[in-house]
Amino acid sequence: MEMKQIEAQTQDPTKSPSGLKILWRELVRDKVALFSLILLLLIMIFVYGVSFILDQDEIVKVDLFAIHQPPSEEFILGTDYGGRDVFGQLIIGTRNSLTIGFAVTLISGIFGIAFGLIAGYFGGHTDNAMMRVLDFFQVLPFTMLVIVFVSIVPKYTILAFCLIFAAFSWMGIARLIRSKALQEKELDYVQASKTLGTSHPKIIFKEVMPNISSLIIVTLTLNLAANIGIESGLSFLGFGFPESTPSLGTLLSYATNPQTLEFRWWIWVPAAVLILVLMLLVRNVGEALRRATDSRQRRG
Amino acid sequence: MAILEVEDLKVYFPVKAGIFNRTVDFIKAVDGVSFTIEEGKTYGLVGESGSGKTTTGRGIIGLETITSGRVVFNGADVTSRKSKSKDMRKDMQMIFQDPYSSLNPRKRVIDIIAEPLRNYERLSKIEEKKRVQELLELVGLSPESIMKYPHEFSGGQRQRIGIARAIALKPKLIIADEPVSALDVSVQAQVLNFMQDIQKELGLTYLFISHDLGIVKHMCDEIAIMYKGRYVEQGTKYDIFQNPQHIYTKRLVAAIPDIDPRNREKQFKFRRQVQKEYESSYSNYFDNEGLAYGLQSISDTHLVALPERG
């Protein structure tokens, strides 16, 4: 029902702008952000498209006759120490990073939003208890715990990784949403819904949540920028996926070998640049959206 | 028949302080208020800001936790947790002060007005639409506007939407919390007259909360004056405006502006006199903490907060 409303709202030109429309307008006005969004979409289409054609098993197969080949016509970006095609690894690695980034953002986002909304809406003792749980999660040494869980999990798949990671990264968004929900619940329309006999869950998710949707979109986008780099970071430390799963982080970690760092740039430079570019692009978009939520900073 | 009886209603807010966030004191927003409202009548609750009149209304409908006291609505005690049933809420509705924040900006008019219907009555989409259109017509808005959003309406129109939502379930009692304070004067009259019209039409009972004595005089049968969480004076419209006994009420009545410039001198003298009386006899009307005394009955309808004699 919510979606229908939003859709209808954006279709009618006579309405005063809705939150989503303001976000979109700001994005279009900010040329850097618009360019970032287009480039990001192009990279994503390319990566997901090409990785569909590529054969992962073929790419990760060790070929001892093609070790450390510089870029050539056969291997566009050369090969690594196992004779594996760097370009193929780059594409599939980027795909994995993006997928993980999106999945972690989504899972932690859904949980964090629900947690924050419930804590903020009910307030009082509920809020107090829930926030202490949140504090507990927040003081845990994040990276270390993820590494521990990643090592003890029996079957190390992308899904398992996403769940473990999401379990330790929902706190920021929960805190933010809670503070907004605390404000929102004092407004009369929430009180009115209560006197009209609407149930709490319905008020929370159908009345309060649509009213903070722009904040949710902005936060999720900015979180996405951070989350895309996660998998690379862990792989770089050696706790990412095994070498049978190509990863940007694995490619980067080859640069810890001084020989590779100095003479075989084709192995690690593209991965490093790609991570940097991806995170910058998402961030540009997110920053534009964030500006749109504050009318004093808007450009559009 | 009394539709609403409030007995010794108290709403206290804790004041927390210190490292352990202990309750060190209470703000007595409502401190022992009792009244009854007869069916079909309009009961006015007047007071300055912070006097607890809004909190009283919110306590009655259940938006504020009651510290102690009893609210009997339609013969049933609605104070206890168990009886906070949905049916009670169905017959008691509220009109909110601010027509801007009381309507969800993300919802269409049809969804706003149909909200109570969806909670209590199983109607088909077509029936529901018809009912909403009827209600819109009743409050004087075009039935075509059901697909609009709240921001497309003016303040007065928005308040009418709020009223349409409140009367959608045909409630018995409506708590009107300063329903026109946020509107400009020309629209105020419109909304007030309209509220009186639907009162006759639907046989509604109003608990009318306001700080505007003129409006209260226009709307209410019985009036209570509140000050610092307590009743100062209660009586019929005549008792309060023609025969005010408490000095606080006298000052309030004296403060009502008179449009006729010929009376200016007279009005000025009268106010001076009331002010003098207030200064000289303050301790006769307020106790050491500056609060009103308990109510004494001076006629069948008229109660005044005076110190007990003898």
For residue A266, give the CATH number of its domain. Answer: 1.10.3720.10
Instruction: Say what the pLDDT of residue A9 is.
Output: 45
Q: How confident is the model at residue A38 (pLDDT cuts 50, 70, 90)?
A: very high
Residue pair B104/B150 in contact by the 8 Å Cβ criterion:
yes
Q: How far is the C-alpha of B273 from the C-alpha of B254, rounded, in Å?
A: 10
| Domain membership of residue A215 as a residue range | 30-63+75-298
Instruction: Say what the pLDDT of residue A18 is.
Output: 63
Residue A8: is its pLDDT beyond 50? no
Listed in sequence order, the residues at least 6 apart from A24 whose beta carbon sits closer than 8 Å to its beta carbon are: none
In angstroms, the separation between the Cα of residue A59 and the nearest Cα of chain B is 51
What would the pLDDT profile of B47-66 be if each residue is shown by its tens digit?
888 888 899 998 888 888 88
> What is the arithmetic mean of pLDDT over B62-90?
77
pTM: 0.81
Residue pair A68/A81 in contact by the 8 Å Cβ criterion:
yes
Give the other-Cβ count within 10 Å of A128's Cβ. Answer: 11
Instruction: Say what the pLDDT of residue A15 is.
Output: 46
In angstroms, the separation between the Cα of residue B102 and the nearest Cα of chain A is 4
Chain-centre distance for alpha carbon A33: 17
Residue A5 domain-assigned?
A: no
User: What is the predicted ipTM?
Assistant: 0.82
Choosing among B106, B112, B135, B167, which should be mutated to test the A contact, i.e. which has the most A CBs within 10 A?
B106
> What is the arithmetic mean of pLDDT over B130-144?
88
Task: Spell out which residues of chain A touch residue B62, defining contact as CB-CB under 8 Å.
Answer: 194-195
Task: Spell out which residues of chain B touch residue A186, defining contact as CB-CB under 8 Å.
Answer: none
Domain count along chain A: 1
Instruction: Say what the pLDDT of residue B184 is.
Output: 82
Task: Spell out which residues of chain A touch residue B106, defining contact as CB-CB under 8 Å.
Answer: 5, 18, 207, 210-211
Q: How confident is the model at residue B86 (pLDDT cuts 50, 70, 90)?
A: low
CB within 8 Å: A5 and B89: no
Instruction: Say what the pLDDT of residue B82 is.
Output: 54
In angstroms, the separation between the Cα of residue A9 and the nearest Cα of chain B is 9
Residue pair B10/B31 in contact by the 8 Å Cβ criterion:
yes
Q: How confident is the model at residue A300 (pLDDT cuts 50, 70, 90)?
A: low
Instruction: Say what the pLDDT of residue A1 is.
Output: 44
Residue A69 domain-assigned?
A: no
Residue A25 domain-assigned?
A: no
> What is the arithmetic mean of pLDDT over A98-113?
92
CB within 8 Å: A195 and B106: no
Residue A20 domain-assigned?
A: no
In angstroms, the separation between the Cα of residue B87 and the nearest Cα of chain A is 9
Residue A77 tokens read as 């970006």
Residue B144: is its pLDDT beyond 70? yes
Q: Look over chain A and give the mean of its residue pLDDT values, rounded to a whole number.
A: 83
CB within 8 Å: A191 and B102: yes
Residue A16 domain-assigned?
A: no
Instruction: Say what the pLDDT of residue A14 is.
Output: 43
Residue A252 domain-assigned?
A: yes
Residue A278: is its pLDDT beyond 50? yes
| Residues belonging to chain A with any Cβ–Cβ distance to chain B shorter than 8 Å | 5, 9, 15-16, 18, 187-189, 191-199, 207, 210-211
Least confident of A13-27, A222-236, B227-241: A13-27
pLDDT above 70 covers a percentage of chain A that reads 93
Task: Spell out which residues of chain B touch residue A191, defining contact as CB-CB under 8 Å.
Answer: 58, 63, 94, 96, 102
Domains delineated in chain B: 2-228 (3.40.50.300), 238-310 (no CATH)
What would the pLDDT profile of B231-287 be if each residue is shown by its tens digit?
888 999 888 888 888 888 888 888 888 788 888 888 888 888 888 888 888 777 888
Nearest CA among A181, A207, A182 for reference residue A196: A207
Residue A242 domain-assigned?
A: yes
Residue pair B33/B83 in contact by the 8 Å Cβ criterion:
no
pLDDT above 90 covers a percentage of chain A that reads 25
Instruction: Say what the pLDDT of residue B310 is.
Output: 47
CB within 8 Å: A193 and B104: yes
User: Which of B63, B90, B97 minimises the CB distance to A194?
Assistant: B63
What would the pLDDT profile of A176-204 be if each residue is shown by its tens digit?
999 999 999 888 899 899 888 888 999 99
Instruction: Say what the pLDDT of residue A7 is.
Output: 46
